[in-house]
Structure 1
Amino acid sequence: MKTFRILSISLSMLALIGFSSCDDDDIDGSDTLIGPGTVDTRINTIGSLSNLNAAIDAASGDIATTLNGTGPFTVFAPNDAAFETFATQIGFEANDDESAAAQLLSVADADLLAQILTYHVVADNIEASGFSDGQTLTTVQGGSLSVAVGEDVFILDASNLPETNPVSKVTQPNFYADNGIVHVIDKVLLPQEAIDALDFDIRPTLLDWVTGTDDLSSLAAAATKAGLVDAIADLETARVLAPNNQAFENLFDALGDDYNDLDDFDNSAEIELLSNILLYHILPSDDGSTDLVAGPTMTLLEDSTVEVVDNAGAFEFGDVTATNAAIVTDGIDSKNGVVSIVDKVLLPQAALDFIALLGSDDLATTVVNAPSLSTLEEALIATDLVDVFVDATNMEDEEATNFTYSRNATVFAPSNDAFVDLFNTLGPDYTSIASFDTEEELELLTNILLYHVVAGKITSADLAAGSLTTLSEKDLEVISVIGSENFVIGDATNDVNANITTPDVLARNGVAHIVDKVLLPQTAITFIDSLDD
């Protein structure tokens, strides 16, 4: 006796795949095919059911004769795509000569196939409007189907167990017949006998759980945005601490007014943060066990741990804050691990650092608030460069000219005394920033200021000897001080270097190092030389 190939498969994956075409989803059979004929006639007439017709012919028991009988019958008819996907999932592959479904039906056990097909038939005449949520239907095969009604009608087969909920959607309802009615569905329904015979592993994967659970829809969307779907799918054995939707709402509140939903995570810094947060919720297993043990537990976020806390027999999870996450639903079994739904988004240190960053001043405000940089402030105002250092957006725009927390800057900020030295070098006509009052002079001042700015955040610990390209597209030289760990900054003068008097004035969108000299590009030196002519 020929049988199906015995392969493990997660039926929940079948439930997550839509099988009918977009053009067919909203077609009502009552509008397209009404008239004399049996349910078997309808199955033969509907163009998307050729695989079902072939299955009826291959099954034992002369099902076609039964469906031409008195009835009444309600038939849930899997469309062609449903059979093709079913065949593919249990090991058949389409080729140039034959579809996967055709190969399946050519080797199918006729009796088992009859059990599956009669599991799609109910001895009643039920229109789509007659289904009720939670309704149980007894099939001709003897097994039960369950009904879920929302915006659509869904039919749940024998794999509707507590740990999984694979469903079939009614995509084309109400093909009326003289002896009943046909509803086209997008999944092959399986009775328990078929599940047992085919040795199906009906548990969903971790990814199935995340993407298929209503209260985890925010988590699923976050995983997609952070680019972690494949990483979750590839997990071998892990426990996923899955924050529910309310937990994400609480996270948005903690982040502030700029964060109302996941759409507000729209630049590289925010997406990296989101990825770090999600990786912090995955507890991999080294020994194949997902059992919880009190104490620090490593996460997929590199070099980080979550504290597993035994609170009077109930496990909680601690992060870098004072509030633990409690388990809402635990022990959700999957093919490659366990899911624990929790009531809080756990926060690694990176998240707290980000929240602190959002609350800090930007570079423009930092300059304004530093008494020793008041002349620099005047210069920025005079040259209309203030907005460059105002972090006014959380959007990453490649064409944006301002620096934001996702696009940092390093500013070598000349002190007031440094500007006094510059004025003295320029001569008696230059006593303040107001002395730069022609277009030529303001252009010169702009070039000088941009010569002090480097894209990217370079703290004193990151400084290394070499050249840095400034916003004026000219190079500064970082020079190591012999016998010291300090650095000086060299400009086009090649004689007097700038000392960093106050390093690492941190801002939301970068860092400032206060220096004791106004750095001069070649254009400034040329201008100064022209004053002597």
Structure 2
Amino acid sequence: MPHVLRHCFLGLVASCLLLTSCDKKSEADPSIAGIAVANPDFSTLENAAVRGGVVEVLTNKNPDDPAGNFTVFAPNNAAFSRLGLNTADDLNSLQKDFLTSTLLYHVANGTLAAPNLLPNSTSASAFKGVTRRIINRGGYLYVNGSRILLTDVKASNGTIHIIDKVLLATNADIVQSAVALASAQVFVQPELTYLVEAVLYCDLAPALTATPGSAPLTVYAPTDQAFKNLLAQLLGRPSTSPADIRLLPKATVTAVLLNHVVAGGKFTSELPEGGTNTSLGGGTLTFGAFTNGTLPVRSTGNGTATANMVIPDVQCTNGVVHVIDKVLLP
């Protein structure tokens, strides 16, 4: 979309948002929750707020701010759709506690207006004070890996900035976060069970655990299906259990795992389009075009086949995890 048309489109969105809100509510500035209810492009956010128990919070004034304000980075319906969350029923695939924490991660105390969204600045969230980072990429602002589409939508109890991806944070290190997924503490269905088994098999948990002074990491975490697809090729039969990982040589699995880890915690908004990173195993990871907020990634052993980011930009206490749909072979 040309630059001029893009600004016209965003301006139209803002106008429609405010007009629809005023039509639905008699007051000039409805609450943050009221704006979500009034605008159909936030129906999934509305449903999430109901299930996550934060509607009352976003309807009332903020008792922890002298002016009574919140700032909310609000994912639109398309942002939730990236995670396969399109309806109220879809939200039941997430554990309620995780959904509530995720929603609170989008909330900050006080007013964080557009002029204060400065590149490399951080702000604390209502999720146990876990911070978010503002990043400039190509002249556009991102909060972590989520592009800020529209700023400073006014509400009676604060300010809304619209974003194109749901912000995800665990308030745990990379190992604890993977274990939480594998033990169904995030999704109702377990995920990353093969990755956790592989990490334990290779004794790599200490290297991925946050310790005082440890450097941040970026981890590309293959889904269970990605491991099943690889194991089916290697074993000549379908894999039925994460324990099948242990049928492979430990040194081989270790080399593969280290090929998924890169020094430095990077969100998608910071990864090199068309560039490369060197993994901790010494392999080269090559990135494709930065499109719609993600980059495909491939490794030497995969030939021309690329891995797609199915859940990008999960912030952990010692780095960032991008869940991918293919195992990266060195």
Q: State whether TM-score is above 0.5.
A: no
Query: Structure 2 length normalisation: TM-score?
Result: 0.45
**CA radius of gyration, larger in:** 1
Query: Structure 1 length normalisation: TM-score?
Result: 0.28
**Higher relative contact order, structure no. (Cα contacts within 8 Å, ≥ 6 residues apart):** 2
